[in-house]
Structure 1
Amino acid sequence: MSDKILTRARSWIVNSGLAEGDRLPPERSLCTQLGMTRSELRKSLLLLEAEGLLSRHVGRGTYLAKLPKTAGNAGIETAISALSQTTGPVDSMSARQALEPELAALAALHATPAQLRELRRLCQAMPVASSWARYEQLDSRFHETIAEASGNTLLQAMHRIVNGVRLVVVWRQLDTPDSGPESHYHSFDEHQAILAGIERRKPDEARQAMYAHLNSTLQTMLARR
């Protein structure tokens, strides 16, 4: 799926007149309005759902959860759009390995009680995600919360770019089933290990757990190629 298609979907949402909570038109109508195939549309909707812009309810349709960010975030979104055109999955993971272990270490030092509660909630929610899009949304939020808990706004902005590129790159290539991850999916225990290091206020433990998690994800990705 090209980034132009995803940009087209975002632009349509901004200019559609829909408000948060409104239901999107049926797939057939959206395909016509956006000039997309059904496959392209579904991948776009999955990615936008993973980003938290849409929410889908079985039997009820797709709803606008929040409007795409504009103005103040234009620079970051421009960077994501440009970098996602030249970045592959392996480079995306390498960037995460360079950044996220240190974010986890900082989170172990600075996470607030509210941020720890949110991380626990996400760790409980991910294993019961009803779809891969829902899992990706929760997983993305887990890593975003760790970045926020670092207390470093510059690193948070860097993470938003890296994570945004990751979402585009991963969903461009994956053709995932509608059901969520299997019960033994490796990331579940790895997320718990990261959380444990942060909760115990052990920077080295959190750093090592995050690196191990990202390396495991990279190896799984390489095995599928």
Structure 2
Amino acid sequence: MNDITTISLAEKLKDGFSNGDFVKDGRVIAERTLAEQLSVGRRALRKALDQLESEGLIWRRQGQGTFVGTPPTPRLRKLEGLATKTSPFEIMEVRQEIEPPMARFAALRASQADIDAMRNMIEKAASATTQADYEKWDSAFHQKLAESVKNTLFLAVFEAVNAVRREAAWARLRESSHSDTLIEELSTQHRDIVDAIEQRDPKRAEAAMRRHLSEVEHALKQT
């Protein structure tokens, strides 16, 4: 096996994906085949893929594989109908019921790769120079946390709520509610959540997520 560092291997994969190599219909070819084509060990390959995932360049779905790009938003007719009838405060009410327990489960189930990816997304959000970039990485963080729970039904519920949130006509309200000071505070709260997850403290993780969502809701009410 060639002695290739994680960074150089990640760059090689990145170049390959951009050229359409190692991918079929948007899905990365089987890990064993990919490792053979690159003449690297599967452990080294996984580390490089973890790096690309933390950068938001690929996403994984348990039982389905690894895909290039960002996870698709569910496009269900019922959800599209809900988006026209739902208020931001109804969304926050539901998020308060599902995301704190998910943070609790994440403290029990998240892998170190999951945690590293979440930290990377938090710092990307914290250093964002535009509202769109902040929204992108904030959403990626919450998505990754949901995935780290390793529960397909929990993830489906989260994605359904997120789809309504993205489709709703009032989505622009979030943009006007996020000042630089607030983004700094929310980023600190994100770090608290992940610290609790990494320390395997379920109660603290759940409480930290609940505080975070309460702050987000409070900010919405100020607009």
**Is the alpha carbon distance of 1:133 and 1:204 closer, same or farther for their aligned partners in structure 2, counting shifts above 3 Å?**
same
Equivalence for 2:137: 138
Equivalence for 2:180: 182
Distance between the aligned counterparts of 2:206 and 2:88, measured in 1?
22
How far is 1:164 from its partner?
Answer: 1.6
8 A Cα contact 1:84 1:168, kept in partner: yes
How far is 1:163 from its partner?
Answer: 1.3
Distance between the aligned counterparts of 1:158 and 1:223, measured in 2?
28
**Is the alpha carbon distance of 1:143 and 1:110 closer, same or farther for their aligned partners in structure 2, counting shifts above 3 Å?**
same
What aligned pairs does 1:1-225 form with structure 2 within 5 A after superposition? Answer: 69=72, 73-74=74-75, 77-169=76-168, 170-174=170-174, 176=176, 181-183=179-181, 185=183, 186-224=185-223
Question: Residues 51-94 of structure 1: CA distance to partner in whole angstroms, max 9, x if unpaired?
Answer: x9xxxxxxxxxxxx969959xx55xx333312111110100100
How many residue pairs match? The answer is 157
Distance between the aligned counterparts of 2:138 and 2:91, measured in 1?
16
Unaligned runs of 5+ in 1: 1-19, 22-51, 53-64
How far is 1:174 from its partner?
Answer: 4.9
Distance between the aligned counterparts of 2:110 and 2:194, measured in 1?
11
SS at match of 1:197: helix
8 A Cα contact 1:108 1:203, kept in partner: yes
8 A Cα contact 2:174 2:220, kept in partner: no
Instruction: Report percent identity of matched pairs.
Output: 31
Distance between the aligned counterparts of 1:202 and 1:67, measured in 2?
29
How far is 1:176 from its partner?
Answer: 4.3
Question: Residues 172-215 of structure 1: CA distance to partner in whole angstroms, max 9, x if unpaired?
Answer: 445649xx851553211110111111111111000000000001
C-alpha RMSD of matched pairs (Å): 2.7
Output the TM-score relative to the length of structure 1: 0.62
Please tell me the residue identity of whatever aligns with 1:213. H
Output the TM-score relative to the length of structure 2: 0.63
How far is 1:113 from its partner?
Answer: 1.5
Distance between the aligned counterparts of 2:140 and 2:72, measured in 1?
16
8 A Cα contact 2:189 2:212, kept in partner: yes
Distance between the aligned counterparts of 1:174 and 1:210, measured in 2?
18
SS at match of 2:180: coil
Distance between the aligned counterparts of 1:67 and 1:211, measured in 2?
26
Unaligned runs of 5+ in 2: 1-17, 20-55, 57-67
Please tell me the residue identity of whatever aligns with 1:168. E
